[in-house]
Amino acid sequence: MIRKLVQKQLVPHKNSFRQELNKIILSLNLPKYPNKMGNKQFTTDQRLSVVILYFHSHKSLIAFCREFKETKWSNWLELKYEIKKSKSNDWVKSFDLDFLKEVLDKTNSGEKPELLGIDGTGIDTHFKSRYYEKRLKEFGRKPKSNYHKLDIIADMNGKMKIYDFSFLMKQRHDIYVTWKLFKRFKFKNVVIVADKGYFDYGLFKLMKLKNNYLLFPPKNYSGKCRHNNILRRNIKEHYHKLFIYNHSTLIKSNTAISF
C-alpha cells in the first residue's frame, strides 16, 4: 500500500484520451442542441466528440463508422442512435476553422508555455490534372505545384500541443503568415523556435515588444542589402549560445502529424 502511494507521488498520473476529451467538451459550454427546430437525436457535445474521434482515428469515414459500433465510445457518449456516414459527414462540415480557433483559445487560456515552435508546410490540393502536367512537360515548361498553406505554433515540451494555426487556400510566404499569427499571440516570456524561412527583423522586434524571444538561424546577406547591425549581432549571439534550436525537429514532426 505504501509502495503504491509512493509511486503515485513520484510518477505523475497521465490522463487518458477519454478524460482529456471530456475536459475539453465541458470547458466549451456549448448549447445542448445546435438547432431550435428539427431533429434532436444527438446533442452538440456528442456531435463534436464524434468529429474529434474521427480525426483522431486517421481512417476513412466509412471505416470509422463501421468500427465505431464495436467500441465502448457509444456507451461512454450515451448515444441512443446509430452513427451513419451521412450524419458524420454533415457534422464534420458544421464545425469550421473559426470554431476550431475558438476551441484552441478556450483550452489554452490557462496555459503558460515556455518553449514553442513554428513551422509551415504545403498540403496537396488533389485537384491536379495529370494530362495538363504531361502536356506542359512535352513543351518543356515546368508545371506549377498547387498546394494549401498550413502553419502551426505548437509546444515543444510535453504533449506537443497546438496553440495556434493558419490555413490558407493559396501559396504565401512564411513571413506573411507569421505576422498574422504573432499579432494575435497572447503569451509572454516564451521562446519561439523557427527556421531560416522566418528570418525577419520586424518579427524579431514584434516578439521582443511582447516580452518573448524569436530564435532563428542568422542569415548571411554578404553585403547585398542594408540591415540593422545591432539586431543582427544580437540574433547571432543568442543563436550560438542557446542549444534550444536543436529541438526544432520536433515542430517539423508535429506539422507532419497534424494533417
Q: Is residue 103 part of a domain?
A: no
217/171 same-domain check: yes
Q: Is residue 167 part of a domain?
A: yes
Give the pLDDT of residue 1. 39
Query: What whole-number distance in Å separates Cα of residue 18 and Cα of residue 71?
Result: 13
Give the pLDDT of residue 8. 41
Query: What whole-number distance in Å separates Cα of residue 4 and Cα of residue 7?
Result: 5
203/159 same-domain check: yes
Q: What is the mean predicted confidence (pLDDT) over 215-224?
A: 70
Query: What whole-number distance in Å separates Cα of residue 157 and Cα of residue 114?
Result: 8
Residue 106 has pLDDT above 70, yes or no: yes
- Can you tell me which residue has the cell 457518449? 77
Model confidence band, residue 4 (pLDDT cutoffs 50, 70, 90): very low
Last residue of a domain, one of 52, 69, 95: 95
Please, which residues bridge with residue 118 across strands?
153
Which amino acid belongs to residue 216?
A: F
Q: Please give the residue range of the domain that contains residue 23.
A: 11-95
Q: Is residue 28 part of a domain?
A: yes
Q: What is the mean predicted confidence (pLDDT) over 100-108?
A: 78
Sheet with 147-155, side-by-side order of all strands: 162-168, 147-155, 115-124, 191-193, 213-215
124/80 same-domain check: no
Answer positive or negative: Cα dihedral of 58, 59, 60, 64: negative
Question: What is the b/e burial string over 106-126, where b = at least 16 CB atoms within 10 angstroms of the residue's CB?
Answer: ebbeeeebebbbbbbeeeeee
50/167 same-domain check: no
228/120 same-domain check: yes
59/86 same-domain check: yes
Q: What is the mean predicted confidence (pLDDT) over 251-257?
A: 56
Question: What is the b/e burial string over 8-47, where b = at least 16 CB atoms within 10 angstroms of the residue's CB?
Answer: eeeeeeeeeeeeebbeebeeeebeebbeeeeeeebbbbbb
Q: Is 3 exposed, middle or buried (0-12, 13-18, 19+ CB in 10 A)?
A: exposed
Residue 91 has pLDDT above 60, yes or no: yes
User: Which helix (H) or strand (E) is 155 found in, with range?
Assistant: strand 147-155
Model confidence band, residue 75 (pLDDT cutoffs 50, 70, 90): confident
Per the structure block, which three cell numbers stand in for 179? 505576422
Q: Is residue 107 part of a domain?
A: no
Total domains present in the chain: 2
In this structure, how many other beta carbons lie within 10 angstroms of the beta carbon of residue 215? 20
Model confidence band, residue 10 (pLDDT cutoffs 50, 70, 90): very low
Last residue of a domain, one of 95, 125, 155: 95
Share the mean pLDDT of the chain. Answer: 77
Last residue of a domain, one of 63, 95, 127: 95
210/161 same-domain check: yes
Model confidence band, residue 239 (pLDDT cutoffs 50, 70, 90): low
The per-residue pLDDT for range 16-62, each reduced to its tens digit, is 777 777 777 777 777 888 777 877 888 888 888 888 888 888 888 88
Give the pLDDT of residue 225. 55
Residue 206 has pLDDT above 60, yes or no: yes
DSSP code at position 149: E
Q: Is residue 4 part of a domain?
A: no
Per the structure block, which three cell numbers stand in for 20? 482529456
Residue 181 has pLDDT above 70, yes or no: yes
58/125 same-domain check: no
Give the pLDDT of residue 5. 34
Where is average pLDDT lowest: 33-37, 68-72, 212-216? 33-37
Model confidence band, residue 90 (pLDDT cutoffs 50, 70, 90): confident
Per the structure block, which three cell numbers stand in for 72? 465502448
Give 159-227 as a DSSP string: S--EEEEEEESS---HHHHHHHHHHT----S-EEE--GGG--HHHHHHHHHTT-EEE-PPP--TTSS--
The per-residue pLDDT for range 123-178, each reduced to its tens digit, is 777 666 777 778 888 888 877 777 788 888 888 876 678 888 888 887 788 888 89
Which amino acid belongs to residue 212?
A: N
